[in-house]
């Protein structure tokens, strides 16, 4: 058996899950990063995109204690943190029965977090910040490695911003594209047939990896990291000094996952995921990719440090012209409309990486108009 838990995490958990969940490599890598860094991950996207299944399978593979709950505005704290122990209450002591509830979990997934009422949200602040749950005179120290949450909308109420701020990583997850469907069906059927196989890595190993991030040498990246932080802020992303320090944990965790004792500029890739609003996703990714691209080819770079193949502005414009001309020729079948919608959406994603701001805006406006015409 391989001794290094970082290698076992990659081979026995991350790679295995990537084989089972088609098109979800990015999310799986972010789950591993969040756990090793001891930070929290927010997944933004529609239902049915395997968000909870990914986290549940990750926890099961490392035999970690797992708690999951779908929150509504009617949810009560007892449903998440555990009910009051009635036997001890008769004795005059307020105590919580935490068996099987959030206070005993190492992996926590809260679906539709922003639907929760203030009683739950207020408790979650101390859970996220301090890994502590308090009820009356009780104080529960939580064994939680990371808390994961998901929603199909971002917080609009000012009172929710403090909670959202505690999720250092934010990832947009969408439905898979048409060409991935055959692989999705095959992999999904295999998951139905076979249950999770336990890995040799445990939650205790993950904790040891978390401690290792503080031994990573950051001296080579301090100056370029500082410069990048100000560029990120110039995009309008709210990145406080506190969050900037915390993101360094993600950079160090990337190095640990890659088996390196030294952080490199290629480890800046997690900064793609510190956005506040959807419209920042493309420009932020473009900025970070421009910084790490000259360094992404270093030995033992993280998979997410790889810069995707890019199309130039003229190539994207040419493909949009061809699609627009086809649409103008006459009515389209439902199948053709769906195919063109996917193509335009893909071109929109590629346009968001363009470094030329005026070209990027122009092409994003064109793709938006075409998507509107395609319904």
Instruction: Provide the token pair at 244.
Output: 């900037």
3-state class of 117 per DSSP?
coil
Residue 136 has pLDDT above 80, yes or no: no
Q: Which residues of 307-327 are buried (b: 16+ CB within 10 A; e: fewer)?
A: eeebbebeebbebbeebeeeb
For the stretch 326-348, pLDDT in tens is 888 777 777 777 777 878 887 88
Give Cβ neighbours of residue 299 (< 8 Å, ≥ 6 apart): none
Tokens matching residue 131: 């890994």
Environment class of 104 (CB within 10 Å of its CB; exposed 0-12, middle 13-18, buried 19+): middle
| Beta strands 132-135; 138-141: pairing state | antiparallel
Higher pLDDT, 71 or 185: 71
Give residue 184's pLDDT: 47
**Contact (CB, 8 A) for 154 and 277:** yes
5-193 to CATH, choices 3.40.50.300, 3.10.20.740, 1.10.3720.10, 3.30.470.10: 3.40.50.300
pLDDT at 350 over 80: no
Q: What is the CB neighbour count within 10 angstroms for residue 355?
A: 12
What are the tens digits of pLDDT across the range 208-239? 999 999 999 999 999 999 999 999 999 999 99
Q: What is the mean pLDDT of the chain?
A: 87
Q: Report residue 290 as tokens.
A: 């421009």
DSSP character string of 304-344: GGSPPP---HHHHHHHHHHHHHHHHTS---HHHHHHHHHHH
The upper half-sphere exposure of residue 25, i.e. CA atoms within 13 Å in the direction of its Cβ, equals 9
- Coil, helix or strand at residue 166: coil
**d(Cα 106, Cα 35) in Å, to the nearest integer?**
10
The H or E element that residue 227 is part of is helix 222-234
Mean pLDDT of 253-269: 96
- pLDDT tens digits along 268-316: 999 999 999 988 988 898 889 889 988 877 878 899 998 766 667 888 8
Residues 6+ apart with CB under 8 A from 42: 113, 148, 149, 150, 151, 164, 167, 169, 170, 171
Judge if pTM exceeds 0.75.
yes
d(CA 375, CA 372): 5
Of residues 270, 242, 272, the one with CA closest to residue 256: 270
In whole angstroms, give the CA distance from residue 22 to residue 38.
Answer: 26
DSSP structural state of residue 109: E
pLDDT in tens, 24-56: 999 999 999 999 999 999 999 888 778 888 999
Query: Where are the domains positioned within the chain?
Result: 5-193, 216-305, 313-374
DSSP state of 96: B
């Amino acid at each position: 058996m391989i001794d290094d838990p970082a290698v076992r995490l990659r081979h026995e958990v991350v790679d295995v899950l990537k084989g089972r969940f088609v098109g979800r490599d990015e999310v799986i890598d972010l789950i591993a990063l969040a756990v090793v860094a001891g930070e929290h991950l927010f997944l933004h996207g529609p239902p049915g995109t395997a968000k909870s299944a990914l986290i549940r399978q990750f926890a099961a593979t490392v035999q970690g204690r797992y708690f999951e709950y779908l929150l509504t505005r009617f949810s009560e704290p007892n449903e998440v943190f555990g009910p009051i122990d009635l036997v001890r209450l008769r004795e005059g002591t307020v105590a919580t029965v935490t068996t099987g509830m959030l206070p005993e979990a190492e992996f926590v997934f809260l679906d539709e977090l922003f639907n929760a009422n203030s009683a739950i949200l207020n408790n979650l602040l101390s859970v996220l910040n301090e890994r502590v749950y308090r009820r009356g005179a009780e104080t529960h120290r939580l064994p939680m490695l990371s808390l994961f949450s998901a929603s199909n909308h971002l917080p609009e109420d000012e009172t929710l911003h403090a909670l959202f701020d505690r999720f250092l990583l934010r990832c947009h997850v969408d439905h898979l594209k048409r060409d991935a469907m055959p692989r999705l069906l095959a992999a999904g059927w295999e998951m139905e047939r076979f249950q999770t196989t336990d890995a040799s890595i445990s939650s205790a190993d993950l904790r040891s990896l978390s401690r290792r991030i503080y031994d990573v040498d950051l001296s080579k990246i301090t100056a370029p990291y500082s410069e990048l932080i100000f560029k990120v802020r110039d995009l309008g992303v709210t990145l406080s000094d506190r969050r900037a320090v915390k993101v360094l944990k993600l950079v160090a965790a990337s190095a640990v996952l890659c088996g390196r004792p030294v952080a490199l500029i290629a480890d800046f890739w997690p900064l793609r995921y510190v956005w506040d609003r959807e419209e920042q996703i493309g420009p932020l990714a473009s900025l970070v990719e421009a910084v790490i691209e000259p360094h992404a080819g270093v030995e033992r770079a993280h998979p997410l440090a790889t810069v995707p193949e890019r199309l130039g502005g003229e190539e994207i414009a040419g493909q949009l012209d061809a699609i627009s001309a086809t649409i103008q020729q006459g009515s389209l079948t439902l199948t053709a409309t769906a195919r063109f919608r996917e193509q335009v959406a893909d071109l929109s994603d590629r346009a968001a990486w363009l470094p030329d701001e005026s070209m990027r805006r122009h092409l994003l406006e064109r793709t938006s108009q075409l998507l509107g015409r395609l319904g």
